[in-house]
Chain A
Amino acid sequence: MTRIGLIRLLVVAALIGALELACRSGLIDHRVIIAPSQMASALWTLLASGALDADIARTLGMIGLVIALSIVLGFAAGIAIHALPRLRRALDPFFATYYAVPVFIFYPVLIAIFGLSVMPIVLIGVATAIVAMIIATLNGLDRVPRVLGKVARVHRLGRFATALQLQLPAAAPYLFTGIKLAVSYGFIAVIAAEFILSPAGLGRDIADAYADFNNRRMYALILFLLVVATLVNAILHGLDMRFAARRSGDRS
């Protein structure tokens, strides 16, 4: 491990240690925050009991569905919009302001339309994540070098082969950025929707535990979600690094 990585590890460990000490010594009331070791042990008990299994499957399944839909539909929409320059120019102002307006405020409206079910959560998740994928696809297709079109003609590649062998690899880094954002937005939107109002799921569990003053359960659930989100982000970051290394390797 590098020196900076080591320092970072020590800083994080010191912060957690300080929290542990402050909670154990009573400096922080246990009704506000419980010690990190207690959070971990509460989570361990909760996971071992299997009581969370249904909600974990539900929430992670929903996040997976939202991410998959956003990536596939966003990619398709990006290709379609890229092929229609006039539509694209007209849509540009919408793309530019989309993430500046609180789209999430439509979640209650979706509940009013579809009822308190899975549907509003999936829709608000896709609505939050898909536009990042569309924008990334447009960016990626913009950056495909023109010379690749000539290469395709020289090699007499068909349209499909050109797309698969030349355009897709050239646009790949931008598409990956879109995927990363879609994953992040999908996570945030689904958990937020569950937390605010939903029939079940981990977000709802946290809200219920908060309402019941059940701090052990609440902090165990929070810890679980933070660990999962951090892990997913770390995996995506690792893939990103590997792609970047391979691309720079290509050039040398």
Chain B
Amino acid sequence: MTATRRTADTLFILFGLVVLWEILHRIAGETAMPAPLPTFAYLLHNLTTPRFIANLTTTGLELGYALLLAYGIGLAIGVWMGAHRLSGAVGEPILVSLYSLPKITLYPVVLLIFGLGISGKVAFGALHGVLPVALLTMGAIRAIPPVYLRAARTLQLSPWQTIATVLLPAALPEVFTGLRIGFTVTLLGVLLGEMFASKEGLGAMIMNALQLVQGEEMMTVAIVLFAFAALANGFLLFIEHRLHRRV
């Protein structure tokens, strides 16, 4: 009963946002801010065009590669700094201060090193994702009760066996939180990369639409990205809650 009322309230707010959009449309005018209904019609009509699918594929590909890099490097740094006490104590404040820097200032450097193609955007996305993955993995491994490690020593496990059978399963729920946050910021990094000096991908598409004054296209891309990010985050949160319950 209360749950349905809460959902109704939430839907009501969502409806309020669409009304706000309509009001903004009335104020800003047709070219700057298209009305909600024509935009949804445009969205349904254009989602399957080859141009949109090509850009979607590019962004998806970049996100995939960037995540692979961010997760691989982030997990490696996190496990190392979590398991090796001195490295962790020395490195943690460095990682934390890097995490809160405006990384967009480093994008030109990334572009100079990796070039204007797909690899520059992948590297920039990965640069965003590595830090939260590393920091949360490190925290997760540090929080493992020392008795687990003593048990691993008693069983004479090799370092690899210790990581695979003791450290990772014990740390998994919190590590997964790092992977979820890493996903969010990697997506943001890839999109920021596409918005500057790029011709492909959804971020480039929205900048292109701005220049051509195509309000419907801008809103369409924004809505698709919002929906994708929210759904992906919801899915990852669902897995995360299950992992937390299991332990």
Assuming the A-B contacts A105-B225, A108-B209, A230-B97, are A100 and B196 also in contact, with contact meaning beta carbons closer than 8 angstroms in the complex?
no
Determine if A226 and B6 form an interchain contact, defined as CB atoms under 8 angstroms apart: no
Question: B77-94 vs A: 1/0 string, CB under 8 Å?
Answer: 000000000100111011
Determine if B184 and A94 form an interchain contact, defined as CB atoms under 8 angstroms apart: no
**A4 nearest in chain B by CB position:** B89
A188–B86 Cα distance when bound, in Å, is 31
Assuming the A-B contacts A100-B184, A188-B104, A226-B105, are A112 and B113 also in contact, with contact meaning beta carbons closer than 8 angstroms in the complex?
no
**B208 nearest in chain A by CB position:** A108
Please tell me which one of the listed residues B13, B102, B209, B229 contacts residue A101 in the complex, with CB atoms under 8 A apart: B229
Measured between C-beta atoms, what is the minimum distance from B40 to chain A in Å? 16
A residues sitting closer than 8 Å to B (CB atoms) are 4, 7-8, 11-12, 31-33, 86-87, 89-91, 93-94, 97, 99-102, 104-106, 108-109, 111-113, 184, 187-188, 191-192, 195-197, 203, 206-207, 209-210, 218, 221-222, 225-226, 229-230, 233-234
Assuming the A-B contacts A113-B24, A113-B33, A229-B101, are A33 and B112 also in contact, with contact meaning beta carbons closer than 8 angstroms in the complex?
yes
Determine if A108 and B210 form an interchain contact, defined as CB atoms under 8 angstroms apart: yes
Assuming the A-B contacts A105-B206, A191-B105, are A207 and B196 also in contact, with contact meaning beta carbons closer than 8 angstroms in the complex?
yes
Determine if A222 and B207 form an interchain contact, defined as CB atoms under 8 angstroms apart: no
Determine if A32 and B184 form an interchain contact, defined as CB atoms under 8 angstroms apart: no
Does B123 lie at the interface of the complex (its beta carbon under 8 Å from any beta carbon of A)? no
Assuming the A-B contacts A97-B233, A192-B102, are A91 and B225 also in contact, with contact meaning beta carbons closer than 8 angstroms in the complex?
no
Main secondary structure of the interface of B (DSSP, over half): helix
Please tell me which one of the listed residues A90, A109, A187 contacts residue B13 in the complex, with CB atoms under 8 A apart: A90
Does B188 lie at the interface of the complex (its beta carbon under 8 Å from any beta carbon of A)? yes
Which listed segment binds A: B146-154, B160-168, B212-220? B212-220
